[in-house]
Structure 1
């Protein structure tokens, strides 16, 4: 397996393209193609590099996985874990999660995923996360499961 590297703002466009590809399966679960990962703009994506550490997994010169996180008051907020659909179920998502956690030692880790996203929830549970609340955000109809480790 290839090493996981820190992404830069130069990677924003490729990561956004990957995101839009990877999150189609989420949109299908909820029958909602207006979810934020699919409607996010390049400018919004670039802004996340200012506040978050963004990691990437590269294979054959292409970014096929990414995750981002930031820490505030001892809590590491993890978001936008994505792996190219053709490369899922090969351990890349697990490795990205382990690497992002290692960059914020001693923190409590928090993330959220769609409450119907069985595969995502299963991965996070295998990594030691436990659900602690469900909540619908005003921006879309998805009910999210918040998980903590």
Structure 2
């Protein structure tokens, strides 16, 4: 579903053009960030696979964990981690997860539906997971070295690369951290 169609559905209109200001209004004021429930996991998993396909294409490796994860595995993650979902009009359009170990919050799999990217939702999701773990000393995450858009985004919100790990000829991960200013 495109952003235009979703906005039209939200507005109850059958118009072909949605002014950007209306779309922005809906996104900025109707986004709800909530704890994800067990019943949300199949939708989150589907969104995750849609979001990570471009990452797999960039490294020509379709066996990356976000694409191979199954429902059983994501349920196991849900038992150990805090999952947040971003919802607009009862539709999950974003998610992020995290857990704490030794005063570090490990953040993973920030995803935003492609029709809602570049509208501040990723930033809001990151702020929400950081707020959820506000007592941590630092936050840590990783992304692919070739993921220039992700690296730009994480740098913009205060994350800095501190480690590089080559997993294969095709895939190198960059680990980023941000110290909490409690």
Cα distance in 1, alignment partners of residues 115 and 60 from structure 2: 21
Cα distance in 2, alignment partners of residues 32 and 148 from structure 1: 26
Larger RCO, structures 1/2 (Cα 8 Å, 6+ apart)? 1
Q: Secondary structure at the match of 1:121?
A: helix
Q: Secondary structure at the match of 1:23?
A: helix
Q: Deviations over 1:82-138 (max 9, x none)?
A: 001111111111100001000111311000000110010111101100000110247
Q: Which one has the bigger helix percentage?
A: 2
1:28 Cα offset (Å): 1.3
Give the TM-score taking structure 1 as reference length: 0.95
1:60 Cα offset (Å): 2.4
1:3 Cα offset (Å): 2.0
Name the structure 1 match of 2:44. 15
Point out the structure with max Rg over C-alpha.
Answer: 2
Name the structure 2 match of 1:85. 114
Give the TM-score taking structure 2 as reference length: 0.78
Cα distance in 1, alignment partners of residues 157 and 79 from structure 2: 27
Cα distance in 2, alignment partners of residues 31 and 137 from structure 1: 14
- 5+ unaligned residues in a row in structure 2: which ranges? 1-27
Q: Which one has the bigger strand percentage?
A: 1
